[in-house]
Amino acid sequence: MYDYKDASAPRILAIVNQKGGVGKTTTAINLAAALVEQGARVLLVDLDPQGNASTGLGVAPAQRQLSTYDLLVDEVSISAVVQETSIPGLLLCPASSDLSSADIELVSREKRSFLLHDALRQPDMAPFDVDYVLIDCPPSLNLLTVNGLVASHAVLVPLQTEFFALEGLSQLMLTIREVRQAANPTLRIEGVVLTMHDLRNRLAQQVESDAREALGDLVFKTTIPRNVRVSEAPSYAQPVLTYDTASKGAVAYRALAREILARNPLSDRNKPEEEDHGKEI
């Protein structure tokens, strides 16, 4: 099995929030593109049956002969499933709609929570030589998301700055705690990123200050503004970084990537972390 104590092994981040429409997929695509721009090689694993990350990167359903479904359910080798994208250095493990039945098909498997964990640690991951794996999780805390959490070093939580934003976080933290106890004791919280932020909106400002007060350093300094270019980019099958490279959205995702790379430099990305970021909320 691929040795994840080896400094050359990638850092694996699950992008999780059980709410839909909060910016998980947008963050997966654009953070991946920003990390690549800053010198990393990145594999994006699309774990959502809707396949929005795959579509947004220009891989249409017809081009997805093998998908995350085959990786998990049929244990097809990862080298057969991963595809290149139009962005050099950004690789994709695409999703397909059959992933929506994976939950039920996998229930009786003994290792059902470890399937993605094991797939990402196959020896045939090594030749891809990626620095980061980003996992775009579905909008629920189902078995697919649990696979994402068990497979990962840390969790990145996009939080839309709107009225009930913080409410769902306690359920997510409970799930993270359960996964730590049952399967992945070293799982960290990488951070919470505020998305679709509108600085002119008083409510959004209030949600930001509440989040920073409750979560402290867990909240990234960078916030992602609401920006129409960000929402247009997927229909041009591109990250906003290439679709409109000077847009506010592109600038923000670059800043987010810099924050993440500053904490986990490419040179020593798998040194054990000293602090436990697992704050209870």
Contact set with Mg ion (CB under 5 A): 24-25, 52
Residue with the shortest CB distance to Mg ion: 25
Per-residue HEC secondary structure of the chain comes to CCCCCCCCCCEEEEECCCCCCCCHHHHHHHHHHHHHHCCCCEEEEECCCCCHHHHHCCCCHHHCCCCHHHHHHCCCCHHHHCEECCCCCEEEECCCHHHHHHHHHHCCCCCCCCHHHHHCCCHHHHHHCCCEEEEECCCCCCHHHHHHHHHCCEEEEEEECCCCCCHHHHHHHHHHHHHHHHCCCCCEEEEEEEECECCCCHHHHHHHHHHHHHHHHHECCCCCECCHHHHHHHHHCCCHHHHCCCCHHHHHHHHHHHHHHHHCCHHHCCCCCCCCCCCCC
Write down the least CB distance from residue 75 to ligand ADP, Å.
Answer: 27
56 vs 89, beta carbon nearer Mg ion? 56
Alpha-carbon span 108 to 157, nearest angstrom: 29
Alpha-carbon span 154 to 40, nearest angstrom: 18
Question: What is the pattern of x (binds ligand ADP, CB under 6 A) and - over residues 18-37?
Answer: --xxxxxxx-----------
Alpha-carbon span 169 to 248, nearest angstrom: 27
Does position 139 interact with ligand ADP (CB under 6 A)? The reply is: yes
Does position 195 interact with ligand ADP (CB under 6 A)? The reply is: yes
Write down the least CB distance from residue 48 to Mg ion, Å.
Answer: 5
121 vs 249, beta carbon nearer Mg ion? 249
Query: Which region among 14-22, 62-70, 175-183, 257-265 touches ligand ADP (by CB under 6 A)?
Result: 14-22
Structure tokens at 218: 């867990």
11 vs 24, beta carbon nearer ligand ADP? 24
| One-letter amino acid for residue 39 of the chain | G
| 97-126 positions binding ligand ADP, by CB under 6 A | none
If contact means CB under 5 to 8 A according to the sort of partner, which of ligand ADP, Mg ion, none does residue 247 touch?
Answer: none
Write down the least CB distance from residue 226 to ligand ADP, Å.
Answer: 4
If contact means CB under 5 to 8 A according to the sort of partner, which of ligand ADP, Mg ion, none does residue 68 touch?
Answer: none
Question: What is the pattern of x (binds ligand ADP, CB under 6 A) and - over residues 44-63?
Answer: --------x-----------
Write down the least CB distance from residue 196 to ligand ADP, Å.
Answer: 5
Asked if 123 contacts 9 with a C-beta cutoff of 8 angstroms, the reply is no
Write down the least CB distance from residue 24 to Mg ion, Å.
Answer: 5
Write down the least CB distance from residue 138 to ligand ADP, Å.
Answer: 9
If contact means CB under 5 to 8 A according to the sort of partner, which of Mg ion, ligand ADP, none does residue 227 touch?
Answer: ligand ADP
| 214-243 positions binding ligand ADP, by CB under 6 A | 224, 226-227, 230-231
Chain residues binding ligand ADP by CB under 6 A are 20-26, 52, 139, 195-196, 224, 226-227, 230-231, 249
